[in-house]
Structure 1
């Protein structure tokens, strides 16, 4: 969840980094009374995210700066579209330009990439329905989820951008849910601890509201994990054939998540195996910033 506090923290840190002792160019070159009007323009098509962050950057510098957003988070746009208009004291507009752009370009890039993954899943599921002669919407769409492979300090923004692109959030932090991964299981194995027993003991200690997910990398681990009470079984780096087998073994007794090595070229066939969730680290660790620009609009002299 992208809270006001999270936005403020990131924006203030960004501004302190970019202008630690002020913007000496704007402060010495631009008259204090000068005003400016600028437009946030898209130089390529994409999906918007980060409107609140963009506006908060200028507000942190000068409350008199007004930001009018012309698109909402989650809306697609074409190249050349005007996404927002910024008006107010020129010094503040110029000082906030880079930080506002850096954050918004990052978020739009993630939202745009996520939308491509979501579209690939929808297309794959539609093909399965058509091949089976089923009405559209018969098969529940596989969720595309992010991971914790985010930029340190920017997780709240990046996960919000995933949602803007039509994806879903996995856990936000290590404190949100229990997720026993391969290294956790390796420690238990080295210690001689039975996996099912360990999971059952863990389940008894957990509040009933806490979700339990366990990662497996072999089909023969699934039954032990289910017997331990897992709510979600993550099939990590499984082949497509083994994903089909894994879904059959679980047989509705838990949520099935696929993870590992997921790309735009493979996510469709992974979704077609029947898994409930596909977690994709690339949504955040491999997204490129979208090309946006903040351009000063020169007013035409009257008369």
Structure 2
């Protein structure tokens, strides 16, 4: 397994592989890898000749009061996991390698205005920018993203379509702990008490999945789901919403494909979860 830190050395190796006719798969990550990331790498390994993992905590997707400096990092651990899963190359640049002009950004505005975009207004602009850069550097045939970040996945799909990237975007299912909590690098922030409290998210999701088939309104569905979360003293809701699966705009009823998503603070830690409903 190779480790590269510059755009030049990464491109040089990718070009060599492409000359051999090999297909390239990319798994973009911010490091501190867990079983959720591992599931993406495994799927990438199944579908491509070459697996590239980017390991980069992207500063442009963090707001001024967010956890950029505190975000967990452990490259040695990441490297061992990647190697064990058959990764061919890890690209782990410094911010100065990725960003030269602070005014050069990519943004998919409409899809970024709801859900997480309301309280994290610069987040998806940073995501789209770094993913565009990675797509140009690695030039993958396929790229892999987790469905836990469902709004991000929808935005990336739209960006690829709008900007004519010749890349297949592969969405992979949410990976959960045995007790239901969605895997997240930020789970490490939780105390033991907060870790137990965080289960209110997956309980709310489970309830939503059970009752959405009844054809109830979004208002009634979301009210019942919020009640589960509000019963937990350590939880503070950012949002619990139902939106169109493609446009990310609010809907009143699940009479077509929708996404039901939430963001909840457990103490100071912001966690997300969701489920999709297809008609």
Normalising by structure 1, we get a TM-score of: 0.25
**Highest CA radius of gyration, 1 or 2?**
1
TM score, norm. by length of structure 2: 0.26
